[in-house]
Structure 1
Amino acid sequence: MSNTPQWIMIGGEGPESYHQNSSYQRALLEAAKEKMNEAISAKLTLNLITDRFTIVDFGYNIEFQVFFNDFSNNDFNTLFQGLPPERRYYSAGVPGSFLDRVLPKKSFHIGIISYAFHFTSKVPKGITNRNSPLWNKDMHCTGINKAVKKAYLDQYSVDTKNLLDARAEELVPGGLFLIFGSCMRDGVKMSETCKGVPMDCLGASLNDLAQQVHI
């Protein structure tokens, strides 16, 4: 069963494209470089490497092979156009949802998922149904409504299990799977963060406009 979500990044290099609106994700990777290098040095078992070393972005005698995974309707063209021509590795695109199996068993040595681990494959049932007790009246899930929070948590738990089960089959024994993302401490509500406060204000304004039938 496909786990393709109901959202998609905008391709190309226009003002609304992911390419022009991913500075936060780039900053996250820059901040994580040192930790990434430490993890690779400490955890990766080098005696498992033979004549090919496979890295998956979910980037001699040893040949490096890099797979870039994304949904088939996302923009691979911009990605490949941005690869350095003098690169010393082989590259390929692997279409499909990272919540499913996308590679053969025991096929990659290092996998990376950066600022995508928090996405769910779909909106939980009832969230957009006005007649449902789970109807989320807010612009986004702030966690204030406990029933809405639980619905998203349940969906996220299912998706996370699918993702980790798939990678467990694809990862070479002794390999490494790196997960990068942002999170909040236990007990901190989204509505209390620097991102949640303006989102709540914007959501409240849109709700007011909708009630006045201005949109």
Structure 2
Amino acid sequence: MAESISPMNGGSGTYSYARNSTWQRKGALIVEDAIKEAVMESLDLPKVLCDSNNTFVVADLGCSVGPNTFYAMDTIIEAVQRKCNNNSSLEFQVAFNDRIGNDFNTLFASLPEHGRNRNYFAAAVPGSFYGRLFPSSSIQIAYSSASLNWLSKVPEGLTVEGSPVWNAAKIHYSGAPDAVARAYEDQLEEDMEVFFRCRAREIAARGLMLFNMAVVPSRDVQHRMASMFTFIESILIDMVNEGVLAQERVDSFNIPIVFPCVDQVRRLIEKNKCFEIVKMEKVEIAGKRDSKISVMHIRAGLEGTLSHHFGSETVEQIFERAIQQQHNLKFNQIDISSTGIFVVLRRN
């Protein structure tokens, strides 16, 4: 991904992703049974192992720093073991992938001990999943959770004054003109075309691609996460009005995250023609969050990207204000059900 897009906060401190990703974990746990079902019913084990020398490779695309990735990998591998009746000759390898700047040190420091609490070999594969990562037909199952909403880069023209899609005084397409929203959609189209083309090369015939991502039912519906971005945007505008921050700094910043509608995701998969859609179902993440916890989640996910653009001192001020103004986060009034989809694809 572009250098201006930073990974989740590393380490295990107060603002780390490891300690502030319970919402993502909840979304992953909701699809746990669906993952098991997909492996048991849709994985053609003899076919995917025919050229693998009895090595079964699972890739987590956008793994971050854990521990969520460990739970998902255990679920997948345990399901494969049950499917093959615990064939002792089958060996497993997990390829943990994320951007080059990801905190792989913390990830592997917290990895369970091999042979006791971990039944797979582990490897780090740094790099953008909007490109090739693995040799041809070398992956039996690819998995991604809460990662595909991140674009490879900010859409072209959003930060260029005078451009038809210049997104002045905004940091996202929420509440922006339709042209800005279309620019985000166009970038998603470009990214997903590359993503599925690369995975079609890397996943073995009859292997699986499993992913979940945040979506909206239609273009005119705002995703709950958009309220978080609007909240940060309001803080930045306050800082501009107070002379703390230059207007140009806000005008030149956009968050490269998109929430596509379900039909768009389906169309992009079908456009590739290399995958069969086995399942595409809604994921309902119901519940309420304390506003302070919401601010911590925002910080864990966006602090690196904000710091890259505004600097760490400014970002510290942003989140100090966010805590002071947390009462403005009215998530309890927002319907947060049916906010995602879980997709099972099988390589043709």
- TM-score, normalization by structure 1: 0.89
Stretch deviating more after TM superposition (108-117 or 42-51)? 42-51
More helix by percentage: 2
Paired with 1:102 and 1:82, the residues of 2 have a C-alpha distance of 24
Match for residue 97 of structure 1?
Answer: 128
2:85 aligned with 1:57? no
The offset of 1:43, in angstroms, is 1.1
Q: 1:194 to 1:94 in 2, by over 3 A?
A: closer
Structure 2 counterpart SS, 1:181? strand
Q: What amino acid maps onto 2:5 in structure 1?
A: W
Are the counterparts in 1 of residues 170 and 176 from structure 2 also a CA contact under 8 Å? no
Q: Within 1, Cα distance between the matches of 2:180 and 2:243? A: 26
- Residue 178 of structure 1 deviates from its aligned partner by 0.4
Compare 135-144 and 95-104 and name the one that shifted more: 135-144
Post-superposition offset of 1:95 = 1.3
1:119-171: CA deviations, max 9, x gaps?
11111122122332312132322164111011111111111111110000000
Q: How many residues align?
A: 211
TM-score norm. by structure 2 comes to 0.57
> In 2, distance between residues paired with 1:214 and 1:6?
22
For structure 2, list consecutive stretches of 5 or more residues without a partner in the other structure: 62-72, 74-87, 246-348
Contact 2:44-2:206 within 8 A present in 1 as well: yes
2:31 is paired with a residue whose SS is helix
Identity %: 34
In structure 1, what is the equivalent of residue 181 of structure 2?
A: 149
The CA distance in 1 between the partners of 2:175 and 2:207, in whole Å, is 36
Q: Residues 46-195 of structure 1 correspond to what in structure 2 (within 5 A)?
A: 46-48=45-47, 49=49, 51-58=54-61, 59=73, 60-85=88-113, 86=116, 87-136=118-167, 137-142=169-174, 144-190=176-222, 193-195=223-225
Question: Secondary structure at the residue paired with 1:7?
Answer: coil
Identify the range of structure 1 (130-139 vs 45-54) with the bigger mean alpha-carbon deviation: 130-139
Matched, 1:211 2:241: yes
> How far apart are the structure 1 equivalents of 2:105 and 2:23?
22
Between the aligned partners of 2:200 and 2:212, the Cα distance in structure 1 is 17
Q: Deviations over 1:40-65 (max 9, x none)?
A: 11211011225111111112110011
